[in-house]
Structure 1
Amino acid sequence: MKPDLRQALKERILVGDGAMGTYLYQLGFPVGISYEELNLSRPEVIAEVHRRYYEAGARIIETNTFSANREKLSKYGLEGEVEAINRAGVSIARGAVGTDAYVVGSVGSIRGGLRKNMRTEQIKQDFKHQIELLLDAGVDGILLETFYDLEEMRIALKIVRDLSDVAVICQFATEGVSRTQDGYTMTEAFDLLMKEGADVIGFNCRSGPNGILRSMESLPELRQAPLSVFPNAGMPDYVDGKITYMATPEYFAECSLKFADLGSRIVGGCCGTTPEHIAAIAKAVQGYQPVERGDSAVKLAPEEDADGGPAVEIAEPGEPDAGEPSILDLVRQRHTVIIELDPPRDLDIGKFMAGAEALKAAGADAITMADNSLALTRMSNLAIGTLIKEKLGIRPLVHIACRDRNLIGTQSHLMGLDALGINHVLAVTGDPARFGDLPGSSSVYDMTSFEIIRMIKQLNEGLAFSGKPLKQKANFVVGAAFNPNVKHLDKAVQRLQRKIDSGADFIMTQPVYDPLQIEQVYEATKHMNVPIFIGIMPLASGRNAEYLHNEVPGIQLSDEVRRRMAHLEGEAGRKVGLEIAEELLDSAMKVFNGIYLITPFLLYEMTAELTKYVWKKTNRRDFHLSPLLK
């Protein structure tokens, strides 16, 4: 007979299972259905998923009941099936795995991160109904997962404790921040939960391993309770209508040991993870001997952003203001530098404006700003772009994502940009909203990136999206994004050609970190009749390098770059990061006039230094340079 779950965690690390929903998606089940309903209609499929995770080494098996409450099931007309789905979920999991596995009842947040008007009493009733069913069906524990605020977590925990002494695991969804959505620090939240009966505390979803490591490092005093972590397989990528994840099993294996050193006694996976990820974790932690918490913790440089990496989207040029040459005019004559500086995620614009001013002084030809990249809410790039244009006199180049606006909102937004004289834009698809900081929000996607390029160019013809004539023509210069960090570059170039055929005036690439790759991109695209701005983003630390390589879609670092950045933090990391970027610039400037610098963590001093390096190499003297660089 296996010991109680709490006793087992005192003796060893238990491996959790991986994703259910995204794994079913990989198996061909579409988004938009109730995956929990498959407990009734396709129990053999759910059993096979459990079995694969068990055979991979998982000994914590979650029931397929994450959204099996009245509120969530009512969206599919299944509110009358709450009991059947929950009981079947426990039965299927129990029957699919060995007796040495712990079957825990998965209970997800009902609010789901939304601060919508839901009566607390109804939330209590829905939680109580589901939890009673799971306990009655004989689970070994209850897993409260993907909660965003402490208030709702405490409601669910109290209900479990009023009903049973079963083991309870409480997990918050986090993007590397140190507070819950209702304002509690994680230390405060975890302390309260332990006092109120939680046996295991931790994090799942929302972040890849890097973001969860950051959250764990914000809890230096919590040694009393075992921790539990279930990260996503990095950030999702959305290409041609399909969602994919890029973090490899090998990366998960490496990170699982870091989780263990920081106090984790349960390590599993969330969105994007597969049996292969779980097998890698199981192999890595086999025979693991616990160490004192903090011994191997990797601390952040204070200026690094909470999400572990800059939001990388791709910027583009547009048409000139009256009498001023456009980015297209400039890049056809000389080396031209566009610098990405992401809008702030709060209401303080001081550091952003200081950065924009420093970049202008360094000689940037334009500053480009993402449109809530990675689906993280930032200040409007229309507003911040207007400010730098009017107050600093530098050209703004704004991104426009298909995700956030329908056709009406997109045309309205573009008309506003035209009225403000902001005519350089980059058309991008945009990362899915459910993976951002407001996961209850909707992704619109009325248009693809190809379609939005065509529609913007239609405004240049004096025609609205509807085809109705406008009283004057817009003059947008439209950029398109290109990701060369793919296995089959030829196919990516074919896709890029479609964007050019749709009307793209120029291209900007995701950052590259290999001189050979820069040459390959040049050879693959030199026949195209539009300028290409090659993306270069300086690395800030070894940890930043590993995060970008393993978790951010569209970025791949060479083995040599990762070796040089390994274990470097703070000033030492930034110094080597600049050296690598300068070497890449040396290669890029031989074949590309267009240079696209991406600022990491608002460390604008780094991209300002690289801009000056470009001008020093080209002997450009038509603007003010530091005396040291003349």
Structure 2
Amino acid sequence: MSMPQENIKTYLKDNLLIGDGAMATWLYRLGVPIGVCYEELNLSNPEIIGTVHRSYYEAGARFIQTNTYGAHRDALARHGLQDQVQRINRSAVQVARRAVGDDAYVVGGIGSINAGRVRNMEQIGTYGDQYEEQASALLSENVDAILLETFLDVDELLLALDVIRPLTDLPIIAQLATIEVGRTRDGHTLTRAFAELVKAGADIVGLNCRMGPAEVLRSIEGAVVPEDTPLSVFPNAGRLAMSDGEYSYASVPQYFGDSALRFRAQGARLIGGCCGTTPEHIRMMAQVLAEREPLPRVNPEVQIEEAQTPIRVVPPVRPKGIVDTVTQRHTVIVELDPPRDLDTEKFLQGTAELRDAGADAITLADNSLATTRMSNLALGSIMKTKLSAEPLLHIACRDRNLIGQQSHLMGLHALGINQVLVITGDPARFGDLPGASSVFDVSSFDLIRMIKQLNEGYSFSGKPLQQRANFVVGAAFNPHVRQFDAALRRLEKKVEAGADYIMTQPVYDQETIELIYQGTKHLNIPIFIGIMPLTSSRNAEFLHNEVPGIKLSDEARERMSRYEPGEEARREGISIARELVDMAMDRFKGIYLITPFFYYQMTAELTRYIHEQSNLGLSAQK
């Protein structure tokens, strides 16, 4: 077979083109271990890369991708190779050219930088230089086209097109990877996505990775492909499985051959394979499609509005709860730690007393200090249903991966618990199970954004939900840092991410209250000042001398030193806390009381005091 001397898009007008298959999973089957930088093998072991290219070429592929999926600065930096972008990409083109015949197109492959990570538009916006750098290296070796593949988000793929399109007149293939059938992670239908990609300069559009032939077929059956735009499909070999420590895929070559005929019937003209596919999969497709002509694409009938209306047409529900309350009067949140054992009786007694004292919400930590405690979700549900107390649950980034986080939040929604505080969480090695893993799939900024996405009616993956959540999302602020201005900038980013209110770490002096007030008065969301009453002189000295950033006044320490541990010391601790409350109430309408050592009688008394003072203030205004 002799390939016409014309670009790929022109060739595809009248011909089918067989693409190659997987690189990484085939290298794995050849004995290259996971964790190796496969792209670096273009330099250190070009023979094995050439062998893979040649095996696909001999199987019938005439569209050969360079081994450069992750050869951008970000991915190479994980292996200390960030300065080798040019060498690795240029070598990859050379290796591919040597391995295959002149009748094959050699295409420069560029993978998504953000694939597999949490969607973060602020971060995605910084990737342009990396795409330009990689594309420039590939183009310098005269590739026949550029392939942009495995992009979960249309926004990132549009960014890549924006910086690469001006560099070349060669065809650019733009391939999305979808988690849900027919819709991208950032919420676009494929109809809308394909239209946007062609408008931005893509010559060929399609799908690769994530899904096997059946789900890819369902996706393209329901999508409108812009007129005169070739369609490409590179599915996985079914779903990934692991057995006896080995990775495997289910789809056999014969099934791929049958699927190739179905893709042709849908008008696909560039057909290859992605993860799990082997030369045998490609050989079967090539044999089945041999001597067949392409079929015209027949788009499904859709409403015009589908391609024109932005996906996020439903405005988010305005959250209600403590955010509304604090705009009307002083509002009190009280923290009460979940128990470390299986007995809930004392916890529920404390909850009832705090409720009766007037706490607007009772907040439950999420295994604070990385110490194992009872599930705050279970306790929140019990206190809401049995005691009619309003729970506010902390959600730590530490303990759950993204699957667990979304599942947890969906459970909260089902239980009618909608007030949450997002925190990073102390590392597990500092807790009572130091061998436990700290997950940290996302930062607190990411999790705030993702919870707000649930409020808009979309799952973390971008899938539309049948209902919208109504979470009121809080963020934590620690003023006890050396660089207070830097902490403020971090806080502002949390507000930008969507935080509805702020809760501070406990404050023990009036100077810090004033500092927080001056630093946050430009923010138009409620600030809840944290106050935790002292219980003894030993408690005061520990906080002052051993907890980073916390300093008590000499007066407070001297006052606590007058008393032996016991009731009188706690009375003095309440007295000092009242003085802090008085100042805080002059500047903030939100007070966050932290119960020390489960002495909930102390925070109940302070709660009553705050409401008394607040009522006096309202009466005076009248």
TM-score (norm 1): 0.48
Q: Which has the larger radius of gyration?
A: 2
